């Protein structure tokens, strides 16, 4: 009997070499490393019995036909990585999707299945992302093709040189009536499954995101001559805000982060006069995210009064949560039980995925695979062969038992 987990581990080891030099994996879209990865992924898809094509947005598609007239089930993830990233993020989902089809052999599928390897989910090379799934969903803004990387190469030029066609991306939009759904297998990128001692989990929703920019104005002064009670210390106000954001997120049961913080004048012997910082809130349920976002203004006002500073806050970005489809989730849960003999925990995804954009086209679902230490976007990122093998078995079981909606 084939050890699909071992096969997955070997394949990921090989494709990890399609990388810029340096620790871990650096594979950006539309470069020579991406081109090398295409050749390897084409071999995977061919071994799975798929016909392989590259679409106008640079998405590699392996299609295996089902019964005539049946809808198409999409399985995918992204081939690209962050700089100095790991060997599993994104690309594992492509590998496991191919292996599940390969494991089924010549078995007749209940519908047509496509494995998708999207070019750019991370948004590292260009200041945009999710090009492939947005093209399929019909939500891609053609203005993104004018965006440039640090070398001055436009996205449109890079895509064209890679064999894509910016002008042809509009025609990629799929008919929702012909798409049964989208499944994405992905490492968890967090510690929940490992803490629960479970190899696989079913995602309930992809968290919504809200970002705020905060400016705190105090007054610079000599660090040795201004009494503590007479200071207007912007950094003191910022520290109160950082703690307040942390406590508020815990109280709301969601996640929030102060990720950027710039202090001025930032010298050893002066009271900080200004602090600029960012707050990001993520939650699987939009009302909880909105409630915390609304509470930030009053929190800032209280801190301003207590520290004799000015605190200004502005919302800069908001993205709604995407709920995973109940029927697809139930199917994955049953398939995991069939493959592992155990119930799978449910958990939200705090990270954005290709599925976020595919939700504008069709029902979505995600299966998470445990990763060691919850580490991701790091050369130390790791998922075991055993866990990946169980994911292949679960996906194969899902495909065997899947009944497309009439």
Gap between the Cα atoms of 44 and 114, Å rounded: 13
Residue 212 assigned as binding residue: no
Strands (DSSP E) contained in 31-139 are 51-54, 60-64, 72-78, 112-118
Residue 89 assigned as binding residue: yes
Q: CA 183, 362, 159, 12: dihedral to nearest 10 degrees?
A: 0
Which residues pair with residue 275 across a beta bridge? 216, 263
Radius of gyration over alpha carbons of the chain, in Å?
Answer: 24
The backbone torsions φ and ψ at residue 215, rounded to the nearest 5 degrees and listed phi first, read: -120, 125
Q: Is 387:292 a contact under the CB 8 Å cutoff?
A: no
Q: CA 262, 265, 270, 276: dihedral to nearest 10 degrees?
A: -30
* Residue 250, both tokens: 């815990």
Residue 222 assigned as binding residue: no
Residue 252 assigned as binding residue: no
Q: Is 134:118 a contact under the CB 8 Å cutoff?
A: no
Gap between the Cα atoms of 101 and 96, Å rounded: 9
Q: What is the 3-state secondary structure (H, E, C) of 231-282?
A: CCCHHHHHHHHHHHHHHHHHHHCCEEECCCEEEECCCCCECCCEEEEEEEEE
Which residues pair with residue 53 across a beta bridge? 61
Gap between the Cα atoms of 169 and 117, Å rounded: 16
Closest among 78, 75, 61 to 120, alpha carbons compared? 78
Residue 381 assigned as binding residue: no
Q: Is 154:145 a contact under the CB 8 Å cutoff?
A: yes
Residue 353 assigned as binding residue: no
Residue 282 assigned as binding residue: yes
Residue 63 assigned as binding residue: no
Closest among 187, 124, 120 to 159, alpha carbons compared? 120
Q: CA 14, 15, 17, 18: dihedral to nearest 10 degrees?
A: 150
Annotated binding site: 78, 89, 122, 186, 211, 269, 282, 377
Annotated binding site for allantoate: 211, 269, 282
Annotated binding site for Zn(2+): 78, 89, 122, 186, 377
């Amino acid at each position: 009997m084939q050890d699909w987990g071992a096969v997955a581990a070997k394949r990921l080891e090989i494709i990890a070499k399609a990388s810029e030099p340096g620790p871990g994996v650096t594979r950006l879209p539309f470069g020579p490393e991406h081109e090398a990865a295409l050749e390897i992924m084409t071999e995977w898809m061919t071994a799975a019995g798929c016909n392989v094509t590259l679409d106008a947005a640079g998405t590699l598609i392996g299609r295996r036909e089902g019964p005539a007239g049946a809808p198409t089930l999409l399985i995918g993830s992204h081939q690209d990585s962050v700089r100095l990233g790991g060997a599993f993020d994104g690309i594992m989902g492509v590998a496991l999707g191919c292996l599940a089809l390969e494991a089924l052999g010549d078995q007749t599928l209940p519908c047509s299945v496509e494995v998708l390897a999207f070019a750019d989910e991370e948004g590292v090379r260009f200041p945009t992302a999710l090009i492939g799934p947005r093209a399929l969903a019909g939500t891609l803004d053609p203005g993104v093709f004018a965006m440039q990387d640090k070398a001055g190469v436009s996205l449109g030029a890079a895509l064209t040189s890679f064999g894509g066609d910016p002008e042809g991306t509009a025609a990629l939009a799929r008919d929702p009536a012909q798409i049964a759904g989208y499944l994405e297998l992905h490492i968890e990128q967090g510690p929940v499954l490992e803490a629960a001692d479970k190899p696989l989990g079913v995602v309930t929703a992809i968290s919504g995101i809200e970002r705020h920019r905060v400016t705190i104005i105090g007054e610079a002064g000599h660090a040795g001559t201004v009494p503590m009670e007479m200071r207007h210390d912007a950094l003191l106000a910022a520290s109160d805000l950082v703690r307040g954001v942390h406590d508020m997120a815990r109280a709301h049961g969601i996640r929030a982060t102060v990720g950027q913080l710039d202090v001025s004048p930032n010298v050893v012997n002066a009271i900080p006069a200004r602090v600029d910082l960012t707050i990001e809130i993520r939650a699987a349920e939009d009302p909880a995210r909105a409630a915390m976002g609304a509470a930030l203004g009053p929190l800032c006002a209280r801190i301003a009064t207590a520290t004799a500073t000015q605190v200004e806050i502005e919302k800069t970005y908001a993205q709604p949560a995407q709920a995973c489809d109940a029927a697809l989730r139930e199917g994955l849960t049953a398939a995991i039980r069939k493959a592992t003999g155990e119930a799978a925990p449910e958990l939200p995804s705090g990270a954005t995925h290709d599925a976020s954009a595919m939700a504008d086209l069709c029902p979505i679902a995600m299966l998470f695979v445990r990763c060691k230490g919850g580490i991701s976007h790091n050369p130390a990122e790791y998922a075991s062969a055993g866990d990946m093998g169980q994911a292949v078995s679960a996906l194969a079981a899902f495909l065997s038992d899947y009944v497309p909606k009439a």
